[in-house]
Amino acid sequence: MEHHSVEIYKIIIPVISTAGVYYFTTDKGVNYEVRFGRRQDNILHATIVFGVTNDEYEGEEYSLTNKGEMYRVMNTIVAVVKLFMEQHPKMVTYEFTGLAKSDEPEDKLTSRINLYKRYLPQIFDADWKFDYSGGNTIVINRIK
């Protein structure tokens, strides 16, 4: 079931686009950070990490909230990645890191990876190839 009609939260865009850190806050006051890091060995490869930054989630900064905001949070993250892609059109690889929950076996796809499988096709079209392996998802542009 897709949730395209779900609104997104107000995104705080970095003043300097190369900073690569975007923020948004949910209606319930949960602060999220979406961080784009560049690989030193390949500046056209971005690693994307996102999660909650509130102090009360100490040690669980990469957990998604269970406050009924997941669809809106994920749609906002989709919008953030699209904004980054518009500002950095030469990027050829995006890597999403999914951290396993403590009750998940290491080799099982994490629940975050399953979320990626649901939402990444909303960001990347047929020009991109998805590689879901272990705790990471790598998206590579087939054309560039």
pLDDT tens digits along 3-41: 456 689 999 999 887 789 999 999 988 899 999 998 889
Q: Which two tokens stand for residue 13?
A: 């865009």
Span 75-96, average pLDDT: 94
Q: Higher pLDDT residue, 88 or 58?
A: 88
In this structure, the chain runs to a length of 144
Predicted confidence (pLDDT) at residue 128 exceeds the cutoff of 90: yes
Segment among 14-23, 69-78, 108-117 with least mean pLDDT? 108-117
**Facing residues of 25 across strands?**
31
Q: Which two tokens stand for residue 32?
A: 């999220």
pLDDT value of residue 1: 45
pTM here is 0.82
Helix axes 111-119, 70-87, angle to 10 degrees: 60
pLDDT value of residue 76: 95
